[in-house]
Amino acid sequence: MKLDERLKAVAGHMEGDSVIDIGSDHGYLPVYLILNGICSYAVATDIRKAPLERAKATARKYNVFDRMEFYLSDGFCGIDKTFDTACICGMGGNNIVDIIEKGKGKFRRLVLQPMSKGEILRKYLWDNGFVIKTESYPVEDSKPYTVMLVLTGETPVGYTYNDLFLGKIKPDDNNYRLYVKKVLSSAKKRYYGTKNPEDEGLIKECLNLTEKQN
C-alpha cells in the first residue's frame, strides 16, 4: 500500500502500539500503520457514515479488519479508550483545537495536519502547555502542508506572532520555502487590509527566509 506525500509524512511521525485516526475517511493511514508494523491496533473514526464504510472496506481488503475498530464519532466522543498516539489530519485548525480540548486525557501524543488556521492551532497548543516537538512540510501537487508531532505538557510555551504562522522549527529546504511563500501571500493580503504592524514584521521574516533559501 502506498500513501501520498501528505499521509506519508503523517505516518513518519506516528509511533506507539495503539493509535486513533480521527476523520479517517478511506482508512488508508491506520491500515498502512498496521501493515508496516508501526502499530498493532488502530481505531478509525469519522463523523459521516459513508467515509467510515470506506475505511472498513479498506481494512477488509488488506486483511487487517480484526485489528481495527470503527466509530461513527465526532472526535473522541463515545470512545472510552486511551491511545499512544492520536492523529487528527485534513481539518481546519479550529476543528482540531475543539477535538483536542474535548479529548484531553485520551492520548499521550498527537500528530496533527491542519489544512488551514495553523496559527490558531499553534497558539492553542503552546498556551495549553503542549510541545510541538517536530514539524515537517510535505508537498503534494505543489501544495505545501505542515505536519506536527505534539507531546503533552503542563507549562505554557512562549512564542512570537511570527512563530504562530511559521512555527519555531524552520528547516532550510525547498518544502519549507514553499510553505513560507504560502504564509507570505496570506500575510500580504491581511496587511493590505488592516495595516497590522505585526503582519508587516511577518512579511519581512518571510522574505528573509525565502532569500536565505534561494
pLDDT tens per residue, range 97-127: 999 999 999 999 999 999 999 999 999 999 9
**185, 133: one domain:** no
**103, 47: one domain:** yes
Q: What average pLDDT does the segment 64-83 reach? A: 96
Q: Which of 79, 82, 67 is nearest to 33 (CA)?
A: 67
Q: What average pLDDT does the segment 183-211 reach? A: 93
Q: Which domain holds residue 32?
A: 5-157
Query: Residue 195: pLDDT band by 50, 70, 90 thresholds?
Result: confident
Burial 92-106 (b: 16+ CB within 10 A, else e): ebebbbebbeebeeb
Which grid cell is 53?
464504510
**19, 63: one domain:** yes
Domain boundary among 110, 129, 157: 157
In the chain, the number of structural domains is: 2
Q: What is the DSSP string of 25-59?
A: TT-HHHHHHHHTTS-SEEEEEESSHHHHHHHHHHH
Q: What average pLDDT does the segment 139-150 reach? A: 97
The reported pTM is 0.94
**98, 77: one domain:** yes
**145, 180: one domain:** no
Q: What is the pLDDT of residues 12-65, one digit of tens each?
A: 999 999 999 999 999 999 999 999 999 999 999 999 999 999 999 999 999 999
Determine the pLDDT at residue 194: 82
**137, 203: one domain:** no
Determine the pLDDT at residue 42: 97
**39, 111: one domain:** yes
